[in-house]
Structure 1
């Protein structure tokens, strides 16, 4: 079927610091990624998403951008980036990069000028406000990483807003000049050949200009580790003018045939995702958080997520991920070590069978587990600030294991920036590449099936069964029908399809019988004419 290149795509997320180190400083870099593009292409993915590699003081590891249009020296140079894009395209891999439009680093030249006075050319490029009469912050807004969302600046005798770290001042995206500057940044990278953008925390891009207080959040039985969790975030983010800016971004990316995916988190994420992707003039898709922080993978969770995005005119196209750089590794969240092997295969087949775009996080194809990081080795500012109640992000950002019998698992000749996983040597690429029964080999087969099936790439999805552990759904186009069956539990379940016709199993994992699915077993079958 004819389709846009991005619709139904499988995108491989690379965290540059942790993928491959080419210069022996213990930190991954762009040339290291380029050197491993053959491996990435062998997976069968459509493209790669690179987490930030821009000039940055790295207080939030690149999401605090000091120069939107340059590469931080720890990752290489603009020439290295250009070489990466060239080599990726030579392998028919698309390149997607992050764009951080809600804030910059406090070391960005824009902020240096903005804080210098109240009447300079960039005075209103960030969110500034006077103190209350008693000197306290303008309102009660709280930052994600803890403490007030306001920091006093003596130069301007005002507070500046920051939804995240104090070193990440909030851009005033209400300002037309700021919007123009951000679109110029996008054009800079499009002109260098990138194929799309993952737009970071876009629901934080605009605030309530009246600076009204946020109301308190409803009572909760859960542990609240941050003041941020005590509020409903209706004024510090999610302004209704955000889609207007996104329409301009979409018009620009359409000129280049590029792709846009929004990152939208929070309590009202689904409604915002639909608003940001509605029709044909906003973003192409939005990145769902349904699975990233879920404590368990259940049929009900899958059903609820998928049925929220039916194939209807005007409704956006979804994107799904089970893992990323902000969430704990799924095999550590969703199963126990003794079941991890079977579970990881079932999980991979499920991801490959979903309607929408899918994102694989580096090492997910190897079954990497969450690494326990001691306090002395933590780098994540949120984990350090809220130790030990907040599970840090570092444990999902550890180095890629390339070769189990090499120093530092083949990632670097130097001590890596984060500790290696103690069980990751047995999951290394070299070992799994030599085993046609490995998770790596299974991932390649699952993605190959998806890539060659109109039903899996574009077809409708209809859930047939979603009980305690059994999940069965149909993927179908007018010409092709598939049944996808998954046992999300460790115990066998009875299952016999009542679908008429002759069905051929195309891929399976675990114990698949005519009337039973073993623990964590799954299959995809096609209706044979």
Structure 2
């Protein structure tokens, strides 16, 4: 058979048993063609080929793959895998993977750092109940009579709890309710009018005219059922002369002989005991032979502060009335008795105490004379003729206040924190009252600055606020009082000014304290010495409940009451009580309850400030304490005040709630107030 075609002849012998080895490809011609491209009947290959011929198999092609020396465009899978397995490309791949992983880690770290570093919305600080609630101060005899005897009592207060709560108050502070010589079961009105609620005869008993221990327990339960709190007055510095302690102390041989501050030279031949040395330095024993008081100390009531006792024949100290002798708080036995009294009331679930007159509970150890004030050439019995450097503000006060605070904390049997309030009369250092020796003192010293002034414009308000805020240590709490044993605020100022003051006291950081009746514009009552002397009965008028009923609703089926019904200020723009409710509602916003305080624009008429907290709307409170209408630009007075504001509350302006305003031009009438809010804007880095 003839053969024709192309013959491939190898000049190199081929081993028949070579077969297929690694790196070689042995195929038939057909397989060979499938692995090559054919153009113009020519076969092009990138392999070195060898051919053999045998009778059995015919032509057999063997070829060895020849690898390119470097990668090329369009390489096949086999070459791609070959080159990709080379060390260089493996290292390159690892480097690229490492770069990607490092990039991801760096990105995550960067994002986390930005989240941590970027200003976040801080959680608003939590507030205790005595910080979150407003305080309603009640003078018990004048509030509400339940039994027709003409004197207010505990059951009367219990009957009006819903009224107090509806006004927006969560804390009730009661005037003294303890047994005194003038609170027996059936005192005459004349005795009661002349009475002194500091002349306590039993700190663990309720005065008969006020009710019983059962009545106070019932009142406490009713207060707590409404989610409210009850605070009692605590009188640690004095008792009445009819107190059992004083009766015993008049006897030199009694264990309680040193319960009060006695002075005078002893004339007895024998000492009262076997003590050696200068014990209780100023406490003398024996019958006194001195005819004159031991020093020049004067009572707050314009009489000498010393009275000679007819039985003991020594002088006892009384910085107030002669029927309220001063306790000797340097005596450990006296302090133990006082702690026992606090424990007694804590066991009855009282929520706290208002400590009365702590500035006068200690006096100079050596009984040194007080200094006459400069300019007084002929000092008399007037308390104001002297500088009471030895009868007030003694350093021992602060430590004792802290002891009581720690005692309340240790005794607390519930989750409710117990609170201590106190007035700051008596040359006390306010910052030391709050915290002494880096420990916790009284939570709420009471600020009476506004109650001792008769005229106060914007500049005056700025000073009063700045002085108190400056004396309040960081992290401590302020208070703003509207009344108590002072002239009624509606007697001192007109109704519009009082509402401006209330705007200030309810919206500043701190707790507002309102005196009963101020929500309806109560004014002073009476005249003459019985009502204007130290008892300060002018501010204690009978509460008006219903002006069209007998005794204005103070009592049912009674013909006489112990004092006069309060007069009321004319309300030109609606009841003040409605405005107080608005203020209480606004005060519960997070920015007012927990926000920061920053003073904004102030001048001779205007006092303004900003309240704000992260994540909540900001507020500008602008009050005109001047007698004329003003227009002011508040933009720039604080860096967060927005030009796009909304009226949140207004009094004495042409604006209405929800009006859009620009704080660049706010108009406020005389003694008016406006509160502008704006949305929170996150601070940029």
2:181 and 2:199 in contact (8 A); partners too? yes
CA positional deviation for 1:133:
6.8
User: Which of 238, 242, 267 is residue 397 of structure 2 equivalent to?
Assistant: 242
Structure 1 match to 2:511: 357
Q: Provide the alpha-carbon RMSD of the alignment.
A: 2.4
Q: Which segment drifts farther, 359-368 or 299-308?
A: 299-308
Q: Deviations over 1:436-483 (max 9, x none)?
A: 942211111111111x22332233322223322211111233344221
- Partner SS state of residue 473, structure 1: strand
For the structure 1 residues 321 and 211, does the alpha-carbon distance in structure 2 shift closer, same or farther, using more than 3 Å as the test? same
Structure 2 match to 1:118: 252
Structure 1 match to 2:205: 70
Q: Which has the greater radius of gyration?
A: 2
- Partner SS state of residue 451, structure 2: coil
**Match runs of 1:153-302 below 5 Å:** 153-219=309-375, 227-255=382-410, 256=412, 257-266=417-426, 268-269=427-428, 272-278=429-435, 279-302=438-461
- Could you tell me which runs of 5 or more consecutive residues in structure 2 were left unpaired when the two chains were aligned: 1-123, 183-193, 266-287, 636-640, 656-664, 681-685
2:532 and 2:538 in contact (8 A); partners too? no
For the structure 1 residues 316 and 133, does the alpha-carbon distance in structure 2 shift closer, same or farther, using more than 3 Å as the test? farther
CA positional deviation for 1:332:
1.5
For the structure 1 residues 379 and 311, does the alpha-carbon distance in structure 2 shift closer, same or farther, using more than 3 Å as the test? closer
Structure 2 match to 1:370: 524
CA positional deviation for 1:519:
1.3
CA positional deviation for 1:140:
0.5
CA positional deviation for 1:502:
2.8
Q: State how far apart, in whole Å, the 1-side matches of 2:449 and 2:376 are.
A: 20
1:421 paired with 2:566, answer yes
Q: Which segment drifts farther, 464-473 or 101-110?
A: 464-473
Q: State how far apart, in whole Å, the 2-side matches of 1:175 and 1:227 are.
A: 30
User: Which of 582, 586, 590 is residue 454 of structure 1 equivalent to?
Assistant: 590
- Partner SS state of residue 474, structure 1: strand
1:507 paired with 2:637, answer no
CA positional deviation for 1:423:
4.3
**Match runs of 1:68-147 below 5 Å:** 68-115=203-250, 117-130=251-264, 134-147=290-303
- Partner SS state of residue 607, structure 2: strand
CA positional deviation for 1:111:
0.8
- Partner SS state of residue 478, structure 2: strand
CA positional deviation for 1:121:
0.8
For the structure 1 residues 423 and 291, does the alpha-carbon distance in structure 2 shift closer, same or farther, using more than 3 Å as the test? closer
Q: Which segment drifts farther, 29-38 or 176-185?
A: 176-185
Q: State how far apart, in whole Å, the 1-side matches of 2:596 and 2:667 are.
A: 26
Structure 1 match to 2:27: none
- Partner SS state of residue 200, structure 2: coil
CA positional deviation for 1:8:
4.5
Q: Which segment drifts farther, 299-308 or 38-47?
A: 299-308
Q: State how far apart, in whole Å, the 2-side matches of 1:219 and 1:357 are.
A: 39
Q: State how far apart, in whole Å, the 2-side matches of 1:31 and 1:40 are.
A: 14
CA positional deviation for 1:112:
0.9
1:318 paired with 2:318, answer no
Q: Which segment drifts farther, 311-320 or 232-241?
A: 311-320
- Partner SS state of residue 534, structure 2: helix
- Could you tell me which runs of 5 or more consecutive residues in structure 1 were left unpaired when the two chains were aligned: 384-392
Q: State how far apart, in whole Å, the 2-side matches of 1:370 and 1:28 are.
A: 18
Q: Deviations over 1:112-156 (max 9, x none)?
A: 1111x2231111111001159752001100000121100001221
Q: State how far apart, in whole Å, the 2-side matches of 1:105 and 1:122 are.
A: 15
Q: Which segment drifts farther, 39-48 or 511-520?
A: 511-520
Name the structure, 1 or 2, with higher relative contact order (CA <8 Å, separation 6+): 1
Structure 1 match to 2:633: 496
TM-score, with normalisation over the residues of structure 1?
0.89
Question: How many equivalent residue pairs?
Answer: 497
